[in-house]
Amino acid sequence: MSNMDIKELQAISDAAINEANAVLREINLSLHSNPEIMYQEHHAHKILTDLLEERGFDVERGAFGISTAFRASYGSTSGGGRTASVNLEYDALRDIGHACGHNLIATAGLAAVLGVAAAIKRGEIKGRIVAFGTPAEEGGGGKIKMLRAGAFEGMACSLMVHPMSARSSHNNAYSSSMCGSELTIEYTGKPAHAMAAPWDGINALDAVTLLHTSVGLLRQQIMPTDRIRGVVLSTGQQSAVIPEKAVARYCVRSASLERYRVLKQKFVNCMDAAALATGCTVKATWLPAYWDIRTNDHLAARYMHHVQRADPDQQFRSVEEQKRCPDCYSTDQGNVTYAVPSIHPTFMIHSPDGAVHTREFTAAAATDDAHRRTVDQGKAMAAVALEVLVDDAFAAQVQAQYDAMDLSVAKDPFVQ
């Protein structure tokens, strides 16, 4: 694939990332100081695509029918070879800015693809690196839309990283996430004068009360890794009128897609039973489910190796411990892991006062120290991507583990 050996290629990549550091820092801070929520990431989309184009990437803006998504590729598979891909997230949270550190995810991804591109050029590699701009991770399921539009077809791997605080997590190359979805439930009954003719009414608030109660009882028989949480959004306004409408929002999460299917059915039974008991009708609107991460062990092992090569101070627990530790977040990268051999490692930034989704973490995501750690993750991802591109045996191992996974549950319309 190339006349150079892998270590030379990785050294070229590291050097290119070091050279780009000032630009990477600028982009990082520009994203951080211009936080944009899901599907409104126009500034992020512009500065990232402009830079990639300037660096010789083939850029498709507004890709896959999403105005703030992009695909930027470098290299070619026309003479044979594989395509490695890296996901760049850049959406922020409402009111609290980059409290999930997606500015760092974009920076790490950008570093990685610049490094790989330099190695492809100098090493005359047959193969391609693709940067996907993946908007709306926070609730919008951007990667799910991109998956459905075929974005990840033909990718030999999908790499990304996510910053975390040591308050809630640790460096984890084999990180897992929860599988789940959120839904809005609307019960509709019939209003009536609550004193004069209550027997004419059908009480929608009673339906929500029954749902909360039966889910509360259900919790006794669910698994420790299951989560069901809900709030009431609206109900009647006057005590003397039987409430005609009641709206609640719930999330239902489990450790795996198989378990999610079971838990979701139990939840649906509680929801329908409340409608039956009260005589209300029920309408449930589910968001696309975020599936659990199915980490590719081979990619994770090499990633961990290369993080420690970039910064020997970055500590990892044993592989068994990393795999055992369930992380209680959800990400649409989980869905990507069902389609392509993938990783979603977590890396620690120094945020002593707050975990992700706090203002304290927002501040931590702007520091020089967080930037330095982020760039190290970029170097590690670039090194892994290069191995996928030039090492046939390694690429075959990666693909073989993916091919051996039983993904049949993912075809069930009930879990989409």
To Zn ion, the closest distance from the beta carbon of 91 in angstroms equals 8
Residues sharing a CB contact under 8 Å with residue 253, sequence separation 6 or more, in sequence order: 178, 179, 180, 181, 226, 227, 228, 260, 263, 330
Closer to Zn ion by CB, 138 or 244: give it. 138
Q: Which of residues 260-279 bind Zn ion (CB under 5 A)?
A: none
Region binding Zn ion by CB under 5 A among candidate stretches 98-106, 182-190, 256-264, 370-378 = 98-106
Output phi, psi for 130, to 5 deg: -120, 130
Cβ 258 to Zn ion, closest distance in Å? Answer: 24
Residue 357 C-beta: closest distance to Zn ion, Å = 6
Q: Is 232 helix (H, G, I), strand (E, B) or coil?
A: strand
Comparison of 51 and 100: residue with beta carbon closer to Zn ion: 100
**Of 164 and 208, CB closest to Zn ion:** 164
Q: Does 364 bind Zn ion (CB under 5 A)?
A: no
Residue found by looking up tokens 């809630």 in the block: 168
Sign (positive or negative) of CA dihedral 57, 61, 64, 68: positive
- Taking CB under 5 A as the binding criterion, the range among 97-105, 152-160, 208-216, 366-374 that sits at the site for Zn ion is 97-105
Q: Yes or no: say if 367 and 349 are a contact pair by the CB < 8 Å rule.
A: yes
Q: Which is nearer to Zn ion, 211 or 343 (CB)?
A: 343
Smallest distance from Zn ion to CB 146, Å? 16
| Segment near Zn ion (CB under 5 A); pick from 99-107, 253-261, 263-271, 339-347 | 99-107
Residues contacting residue 18 through CB under 8 Å, at least 6 positions apart: none
Q: Which is nearer to Zn ion, 100 or 108 (CB)?
A: 100
Q: Does 100 bind Zn ion (CB under 5 A)?
A: yes
Burial of residue 147 (number of CB atoms within 10 Å: 0-12, 13-18, 19+): buried
Q: How far is the CB of 101 from Zn ion (least distance, A)?
A: 7
Q: Within 279-410, where are the H helices? A: 297-310, 319-324, 333-337, 359-364, 368-390, 392-404
Q: Which is nearer to Zn ion, 94 or 350 (CB)?
A: 94
CB of 219 to Zn ion, least distance (A): 25
Please calculate the CA angle 172-120-29 and round it to the nearest 5 degrees.
Answer: 55
Choose the binding region for Zn ion from 71-79, 96-104, 247-255, 387-395 (rule: CB under 5 A).
96-104
Least distance (Å) between residue 36 CB and Zn ion: 14
Question: Could you tell me if 409 and 415 are in contact, meaning their C-beta atoms sit under 8 angstroms apart?
Answer: yes
Closer CB to Zn ion, 211 or 365, in the complex? 365
Instruction: Please report, as a single letter, which amino acid is at residue 281.
Output: T
Contact stretch for Zn ion (CB under 5 A) within 92-100, 184-192, 214-222, 301-309: 92-100
CA dist 63 to 49, 143, 256, 338, Å? 11, 12, 30, 21
End-to-end CA distance of the chain: 39
Our finding on whether 106 is near Zn ion (CB under 5 A) is: no
**Type of residue found at 323:** K
Which is nearer to Zn ion, 279 or 326 (by Cβ)?
Answer: 326
CB of 66 to Zn ion, least distance (A): 18
Contact 94, 84 (CB under 8 A): no
In whole angstroms, what is the distance from residue 339 CA to residue 151 CA?
A: 10
For the CB of residue 167, give the shortest distance to Zn ion in the complex, in Å. Answer: 15
Residue with smaller CB distance to Zn ion, 46 or 94: 94
Question: For Zn ion, which is the closer residue by CB, 100 or 365?
Answer: 100
Q: How many residues bind Zn ion (CB under 5 A)?
A: 1
Lay out the site mask for Zn ion across 126-145 (x = CB under 5 A, - = otherwise).
Answer: --------------------
Q: Where does 49-156 show beta strands of DSSP type E? A: 58-61, 70-76, 82-88, 127-133
Query: Nearest-CB residue to Zn ion?
Result: 100
Q: What's the chain's length in residues?
A: 416
Provide the binding-site residues for Zn ion, judged by CB under 5 A: 100
